[in-house]
Amino acid sequence: MHRTPLTMSIHMLRARTIATAVRATANIPISHNLRRGTLNWKGSSLNFSTTGTGNGTMFAASAAVGLASTSASPGAGDAGSASNFFSLKAKDKGHQEVDLSQYANKVILVVNVASRCGFTEQYTELEQLYKDYKDRGFVVIGFPCNQFGAQEPGSNEEIEKFCKLNYGVTFPIMDKIEVNGNNEDPVYAFLKSQKSGLMGLTRIKWNFEKFLVNKDGTVYKRYSSATKPSSIAEDIEKLL
């Protein structure tokens, strides 16, 4: 099995944070012994030194961990063999497989969406971006996901109706998927492999994270949930 080296350097965090951070990143079981300063991660060890402070134990850690490119999910292996975004497949709202090559040579903004989130209002700006740039080769693609606070519980039909009635959404809304864990969709396995987030962690943190895909199918930039879609317009202009 092909293994990809992942090197992590983490400084000045509370000692117990590392177990949570690694577990969140890989979504795999971790055993840890903070007294000895060692974490065991699927047979690999993360060693760290600790120093006492007035507010608790702090540490600096560095490790090289071998992660199987196919271990995160069945889909991750498919994504690992993908040459770019346009070589992937996804399912539309009718559960039918769609070849993403139909969007080749376009600039794509991919968003994991939810109907009951504090960021749901971003649909308004996402739709405006789509209207402003679609004639120049730009597409917004929404992937509903219920993994964050169970804020997308509806069926595909209910989600589509909600988006149209409340925000007049006309850009593609795809089949509901998972973006983290054992069942993560190959599209998101690919996107996350291209651009990591805060502290180098690849895991999607919440609804409405965004990936801007260039015309060549590579990920140009990743944006947090709090990033307003309207603020991405400048980057879109650069790529069109």
Residue 211, pLDDT score:
98
Domain extent listing, the chain: 3-68, 74-239
Cα gap 10→2, rounded to integer Å: 26
Cα gap 132→119, rounded to integer Å: 21
Got the DSSP string for 55-115?
A: TEEEEEEEEEEEEETTTS-HHHHHHHT-SSGGG-EEEBTTS-EEEGGGGTTSEEEEEEE-S
Q: Tokens standing for 23?
A: 């577990």
pTM of the model: 0.69
8 Å CB contact between 93 and 171 = no
Beta bridge partners of 193: none
200 three-class SS: helix
Q: Which tens digit of pLDDT belongs to each residue from 76-105? A: 445 555 779 999 999 999 999 999 999 999
* Burial bucket for residue 31 (CB in 10 Å: 0-12, 13-18, 19+): exposed
Residue 205, pLDDT score:
96
* Residue burial 207-217, b: 16+ Cβ < 10 Å; e: rest: bbbbbbbbbeb
Cα gap 165→98, rounded to integer Å: 25
Q: Tokens standing for 148?
A: 């964050």
Cα gap 170→91, rounded to integer Å: 17
Domain 74-239 in CATH: superfamily? Glutaredoxin (3.40.30.10)
Which residue out of 117, 139, 201, 233 is catalytically annotated? 117
Residue 199, pLDDT score:
83
8 Å CB contact between 87 and 101 = yes
Cα gap 173→144, rounded to integer Å: 7
8 Å CB contact between 240 and 232 = no
Cα gap 68→133, rounded to integer Å: 39
117 is catalytic: yes
**Residue 65 identity (one-letter amino acid):** V
pLDDT (tens digit, 0 to 9) for every residue of the chain, 240 residues total? 444 444 333 333 343 444 444 444 434 333 333 333 444 433 333 444 444 433 333 333 333 333 332 333 334 445 555 779 999 999 999 999 999 999 999 999 999 999 999 999 999 999 999 999 999 999 999 999 999 999 999 999 999 999 999 999 999 999 999 999 999 999 999 999 999 988 888 999 999 999 999 999 999 999 999 999 999 999 999 999
Residue 128, pLDDT score:
98
